[in-house]
Amino acid sequence: MKGTIIKLDNVWKIYQMGEVKVEALRGLSLEIKKGEFVAIMGPSGSGKSTAVNMIGCLDVPTKGHIYLDQHDISKLSESDLAQIRGRKIGFIFQQFNLINTLTALENVALPMLFQNTDRETRLKTANRLLELVELGERMNHKPNELSGGQQQRVAIARSLSNDPEVVLADEPTGNLDSKTGEIVINFLGKLNKEGKTIIMVTHDANVARHAQRIEHLKDGRVVKRS
């Protein structure tokens, strides 16, 4: 039986916007086991982005509990959360979020710097990961010299740089054409087969069908599983 890696237990997130309280999450409960490939779907305003922030240790809940590897991380400080993020979770974003002044190799190596990995290991690992995503010949190119699909593959390589247990992909195909998007999704599937836990947020049903399970969000809570 696979163990649970992430569990959200009755999580609420309430933002105070001037005089108005906005309930982005309203008692969200979600359990993800090691090695699963889970898609989170929902319309705009359903709480998907806030759920990503909770799962990815980017924010803490107003109420409720978040467990990562059985440890309650709901009340940790930002510095402690940052350390957990760096070690446990790799992020892939719709906007790629690459640093334009750095080469592909330097972008992939950067997260390892924050974990105090020595320079030789950083460069060796970044080199290997870029070969893995078939960008070995482009590793000295900067983002503006790469296509959208190539930039997203650099972002995937970067997400793997600290060998995280969980890869969190937020609309990973949102800025790509359908053919390139299919390549990216197939690569996420390959990572999953190799043992990585993949959590993917998408509004696209064709993308979500690649996951083993889909969690449908509406009004800040799960309304359906498929």
Domain membership flag for residue 1: no
Instruction: State percent of the chain over pLDDT 90.
Output: 76
Look up the CATH number of the domain holding residue 50.
3.40.50.300
Domain that holds residue 87: 36-61+77-225
Average pLDDT, the chain: 93
Domain membership flag for residue 29: no
Domain membership flag for residue 31: no
Q: Count of domains in the chain?
A: 1
Residues near 12 by beta carbon (within 8 Å), at least 6 away in sequence: 23, 25, 26, 27, 28, 61, 62, 63, 64, 220
The bridge status of strand 63-68 relative to strand 4-17 is antiparallel
**pLDDT surpasses 90 at 44:** no
Specify the range with the lowest mean pLDDT, choosing from 32-41, 143-152, 175-184: 175-184
Tell me the mean pLDDT in the region 20-36. 95
Give the global pTM: 0.91
Domain membership flag for residue 158: yes
* Residue whose structure tokens are 């933002």: 15
Domain membership flag for residue 12: no
Tell me the mean pLDDT in the region 135-147. 96
Of 203, 194, 197, which Cα lies nearest the Cα of 167? 197
Residue 26, token pair as written in the block: 């309203």
DSSP assignment of 103-158, as one string?
-HHHHHHHHHHTTT--HHHHHHHHHHHHHHTT-GGGTTS-GGGS-HHHHHHHHHHH
Residues near 129 by beta carbon (within 8 Å), at least 6 away in sequence: 108, 157, 158, 160, 161
- Decide: 71 and 5 in contact? Cβ < 8 Å: no
Residues near 209 by beta carbon (within 8 Å), at least 6 away in sequence: none
Of 168, 117, 171, 177, which Cα lies nearest the Cα of 150? 177
Q: Give the pLDDT band of residue 80 (cuts 50, 70, 90).
A: confident
Cα-trace Rg, the chain: 17
Q: Give the pLDDT band of residue 1 (cuts 50, 70, 90).
A: very low
**pLDDT surpasses 90 at 147:** yes
Domain membership flag for residue 217: yes
Residue 20, token pair as written in the block: 């108005």
- Decide: 104 and 154 in contact? Cβ < 8 Å: yes
- Decide: 42 and 217 in contact? Cβ < 8 Å: yes
Domain membership flag for residue 28: no
